[in-house]
Amino acid sequence: MIRAILFDATGTLMRLPRGVGWHYRQVAARHGPDLDEARVNAAFYAAFAAAPPRPATGGPRPDDDKPWWRDLVRDILGRCGAEPAGAAFSAMFEELYAHFAKPGVWALYPEAEGVLRELKGRYRLAVVSNFDRRLYAIFDHLGIRDYFDAIIVSSETGADKPDPQIFTAALTALGVSPGETLHVGDDPDLDWRGAEAAGLRAFRLDRPSNSLADLPAYLANL
């Protein structure tokens, strides 16, 4: 019997309605570079795919993973031929890093809060995300933090999905076993196969062929 449900965050519960390139362009304009939105989008995904994996430390990583993000932003701007020098880069990075925790940047998928409201009280709910502590503020802005009994982020756990350690941390926080737990996420490697390798069931979110609105019926049929 399922007693607990874990949710991925980005791409599952929330999204960037304007896209990452739009936000980079707005922030960069205050620091000199005139970025092309489409070029930034392409550079972001290429840099993210090429970035070195964050180390599994078994505990909180230095400065909430901020150094990793600094290197990623430097790579993105370099790919766009627009990296500011010295202090200008530092100022831009600090604003950009803070920007993605501000109100109005992220939005919930339309069905997300209704599904959380329906499941709250019937199941133990948690988030398991390859994010950092900015996620707490984001969930506060989105009004969903109180739905969760635990929020597990990789910067604090010291392990990123699909590492079983991050799923184990969620199970421990909720006091449940893998066989009693369902993980909901949109990434085939990090969420689907990662959860299943840790002994959990996985709800394979694959928009637009399904959505979180299909989750209650899926649970009823288990």
In this predicted model, what pLDDT tens digit does every residue of 103-156 receive, in sequence order? 999 999 999 999 999 999 999 999 999 999 999 999 999 999 999 999 999 999
- pTM, 2 dp: 0.95
Burial annotation 137-155 (CB, 10 A radius, 16+ → b, else e)? ebbeebebeebbbbbbbbb
pLDDT score of 188 more than 90: yes
Q: Where are the domains of the chain?
A: 4-15+106-220, 20-99
CATH of 20-99, one of 3.90.110.10, 3.40.50.1100, 1.10.150.720, 2.30.40.10: 1.10.150.720
pLDDT score at 86: 80
- The pLDDT tens digits of the residues spanning 29-83 come to 998 889 999 999 999 999 999 999 999 998 999 999 999 999 999 999 999 998 7
pLDDT score of 85 more than 90: no
Give the residue-averaged pLDDT of 172-179: 98
Residue 36, token pair as written in the block: 């092309």
CATH architecture of 4-15+106-220: 3-Layer(aba) Sandwich (3.40)
Listed in sequence order, the residues at least 6 apart from 199 whose beta carbon sits closer than 8 Å to its beta carbon are 178, 179
pLDDT score at 84: 78
Phi, psi of 14 (to 5 degrees): -140, 165
**β-strands 124-129, 150-153 pairing:** parallel
